[in-house]
Amino acid sequence: MPDAEQLFHDYVSEHRRGGDADPRSYLSQVEGLDRSELAALIDTYLARSPGKTWDARQFANSDAERVSQQIAADWDLEGEGETVAQGWRELLPALRNRAQVMRRELVERLARGIGHPEDSKQVAAYYHQMELGQLPAEGVSNRVLAVLAEILGESAEKLRTAGSVVSGETTRTDAMTQIAYARTAVQDSRYSVAPSPPPLVDLNISAGDAVQPPDSSEVDRLFTGGPEAD
Amino acid sequence: MWRRDFIVLGYEGVSFREMKDYELDRLPDEQLIAYVTKARRAGNLDAAHLGLSIFANRRFDDLVRRALAKMPSRSDAEDVVAQTIRDVFKAAFDGQSVGEAVNFTNRILSRRIADWHDARKQTDVLPEDQDDEEHWGRDAATVDDETARVDLAAAVTQVYDELESDYHRQVVDDYVFDGYSAQETAERVNTSFPDLDPPMSDQNVHKIASRFRRDLRNAL
């Protein structure tokens, strides 16, 4: 079994090379006090690291960018300056933060609210896609948005609108058009769209399963079957 | 070269000069946080967002790595780090002194990780992570309670602070954490402390480093 000191040096080398440097793969190689020592050394090394130098191109579409957009969306929600159109990617985490609800708890409440507490895994997968801005908004039912709106303390209409916004690429005129469209979608029972395919999430769903099967579950329909799906 | 400097007076009369990304990237964390706070108070959200982006770019990945050592999944770690960054800027905006930003960020990160573990105890295990390399539920192999529970940073700080002199601390800095060889470390210490008698040797570097590790293990 390698010792903590050697693993620490290997870790530092990987980190300095710009590798993934996930501490878990190193920590899993030692146990007990060695593990604690290695964890302490890695933690201190990372805390003292100068961090990454700014590179706008590398930053684009990174996890760090996603998080800063979410925080910036919080600031917009707090009423600083003019609010720009926000997509689900920014708005949902910001609202969740405002409501002080952890993702885990939100999923549990959402699954219960739509009447499927036993399908929380599936609900979690769909909600995750929503937070990433990857679930087509036109497929999400009014029922889901109504429950989500209640949990997050926001209107279903606003959530519908945000779902139509492509994060970071929307002009104010586009946003106004989408708001009008979303109002129709929320209020008009005749509104209907073709069901979207289910999201490609990393559960037990492979790319080959991407076409919605005829006997898709009710949860699938609620998240992909359009506003009136029930 | 001509450069545009924006001087803005915000609602609190705060003078604010907008800076370019390369200028912001040179600021230490404390000044970067202060810049973002000033920008927000001056109502210049674009400038605030740029400063926030530079801070997030600088710190996010390493903070997530640190959280990953104490948490089972990447999405949980990212959530906690997002909350940490959010709280750092909120504290600064609310007028709280952040002191040395690295220490302040560390404290907030530790608290948020502890909060996460507390909340975890109160809820059933629910899936929330769809990362490629991960799966539903807690992966016991990737985190152990002891590692998560111990305040690693506090243990290291305690042992580090108890080192008997500044040159001992430089040995730990250079040799243990910054990757210099024993010989390079000895040379660096002798440059920093020219009056050291006898001068630092390779052997002494090894002795000081192993004593530090022994004391750290005792503290853990």
Q: Is the pLDDT of residue B126 over 80?
A: no
Residue A216's Cβ-count burial label (10 Å; 0-12, 13-18, 19+) is middle
Sketch the domain layout of chain B as residue ranges: 1-149, 150-220
Please provide the average confidence, as pLDDT, over all residues in chain B.
Answer: 82
From residue B88, give the alpha-carbon distance in Å to each of A117, B59, B62, B108, B188: 36, 12, 16, 7, 35
Cross-chain CB nearest to A35 (options B54, B60, B147): B147
Own/partner pairs for A117-122, CB < 8 Å, 24+ apart? A119/A217, A119/A219, A120/B126, A120/B127, A121/A203, A121/B127, A121/B136, A122/A203, A122/A217, A122/A219, A122/A220
Q: Which CATH fold would you assign to the domain B150-220?
A: Arc Repressor Mutant, subunit A (1.10.10)
From chain B residues 6-65, the ones with a CB under 8 A of any chain A CB are: 21-22, 24-25, 40, 43, 45, 48-49, 52-65
Question: Which sign, positive or negative, has the C-alpha torsion A73, A79, A81, A85?
Answer: positive
Q: Stretch B176-199: mean pLDDT, rounded?
A: 93
Q: Are A174 and A180 in contact (CB under 8 A)?
A: no
Residues of B in contact with A75 (CB under 8 A): 40, 45, 48
Q: Report residue A114's pLDDT band, with 50, 70 and 90 as the boundaries.
A: very high
C-alpha to C-alpha distance for A135 and A127, rounded to whole angstroms: 8
Which tens digits make up the pLDDT trace of A168-213?
A: 544 334 443 443 444 344 343 333 333 444 443 333 333 333 334 4
Q: Between helices A88-98 and A120-131, what is the axis angle to 10°? A: 120
Q: What pLDDT sits at residue A174?
A: 46
Buried b (16+ CB within 10 A) or exposed e, B5-36: eeeeeeeeeeebebbeeeebbebebbebbbbb
Please provide the average confidence, as pLDDT, over all residues in chain A.
Answer: 77
Cross-chain CB nearest to B142 (options A24, A52, A121): A24
B146–A35 C-beta distance less than 8 A: yes
Q: Which two tokens stand for residue B171?
A: 């040995």
For A201, which residue in chain B has the nearest alpha carbon?
B130
For B174, which residue in chain A has the nearest alpha carbon?
A45
One-letter amino acid for residue B53 of the chain = S
Q: How crowded is residue A227: how many other Cβ atoms within 10 Å of its Cβ?
A: 26
Cross-chain CB nearest to B128 (options A59, A74, A107): A107
ipTM: 0.80
Q: Is A112 on the interface with B (CB under 8 A)?
A: no
Q: Is B214 on the interface with A (CB under 8 A)?
A: no
Element containing residue B69 per DSSP (H, E)? none
Which tens digits make up the pLDDT trace of B45-54?
A: 899 999 999 9
User: Among A67-81, A139-153, B113-127, B190-204, whose mean pLDDT is lowest?
Assistant: B113-127
Cα of A111 to nearest chain B Cα, Å: 11
A56–B146 C-beta distance less than 8 A: no
Tell me which of A206 and B80 has the higher pLDDT: B80
Q: What pLDDT sits at residue B56?
A: 97
